[in-house]
Amino acid sequence: MSVILFGGSFDPFHNGHLAMAQAAKTAFPAARLVIVPAARSPFKGHLAPAGNTHRLAMCRLGAQALQAEVSDWEMQAGGPSYTVRTVRRFLQAQPDEYWFLCGADSFVTLPMWREYEALLALTGFLVACRNDTPALRLQAAAEQVRQQGGRVQLLAMPPVPVSSTAVRAAARAGEDVSAFVPSPVARYIQENKLYQE
Ligand code: ATP
């Protein structure tokens, strides 16, 4: 069995996350899918506006439609959350074939990730297209990783133009966010008055 790790800030979990997780499940129907919200992304300067408890809860609500697990390991370990450390920890607990699920915008920054070359030996990458990252740039990045011995699989899915930043901005402006996030997440944001300064 393979294991798909899906890391991110999930602040909040939105329909783009849902679509890429579904595409990953379609590509690897028998895989174990684990959503791993970060304590703090090494690439995001600020602390998460919604805080760990709310982000974890929203991941759990988002995972309901997915047959996915949610792990609080990175949150418990504290940040910054380096993928190489997380993959090592999961490999220790369950030696298997690993895939790290990410979006194209994140994947093209891979050479800047901690212990990048070691990471390529530990896990493959399942990559979802994203509007802000041109296909040619994504293909060049995938080619570079493959030349270095890494495994890359591009997911077949139409781009989903949603970001957590846009959802937070909409919530802050008092707009309805239910078109951008799974409905249990929309209810949670409303009930807990998240992202409203
Ligand atoms: P923010 O807007 O706060 O930067 P985000 O929408 O990019 O957040 P993250 O939780 O940081 O969401 O993303 C986790 C992972 O999911 C990253 O690898 C990111 O590239 C990917 N991702 C997020 N949204 C999409 C999307 N709409 N399409 C494809 N990939 C996405």
CATH number at residue 128: 3.40.50.620
What's the pLDDT at 43?
78
Q: Mean pLDDT over residues 108-114, rounded?
A: 97
Cβ-contact 195, 168 below 8 angstroms: yes
Q: Which of 135, 156, 160, 145 is nearest to 109 (CA)?
A: 145
pLDDT band at residue 11 under the 50/70/90 scheme: very high
Cα–ligand 1 centroid distance for 17 (angstroms): 7
Q: Is residue 23 part of a domain?
A: yes
Q: Is residue 106 part of a domain?
A: yes
Q: Is residue 196 part of a domain?
A: no
Total structural domains in the chain? 1
Cβ-contact 32, 69 below 8 angstroms: yes
Q: Is residue 112 part of a domain?
A: yes
- The reported pTM is 0.96
Q: Is residue 159 part of a domain?
A: yes
Q: Is residue 59 part of a domain?
A: yes
| 8-19: b (≥16 Cβ within 10 Å) or e | bbbbbbbbbbbb
Q: pLDDT digit string (tens) for 14-57?
A: 999 999 999 999 999 999 999 999 998 877 765 558 899 999 99
Cα–ligand 1 centroid distance for 163 (angstroms): 6
Q: Is residue 197 part of a domain?
A: no
Determine the structural domain holding residue 25 and report its residue range.
3-191
Rounded-to-integer distance, Cα 165 and Cα 150, Å: 30
Atom of ligand 1 nearest to the CA of 104: 20
* Pocket lined around ligand 1, Cβ cut-off 6 Å: 8-11, 16-17, 20, 102-103, 105-106, 128, 130, 160, 162-165
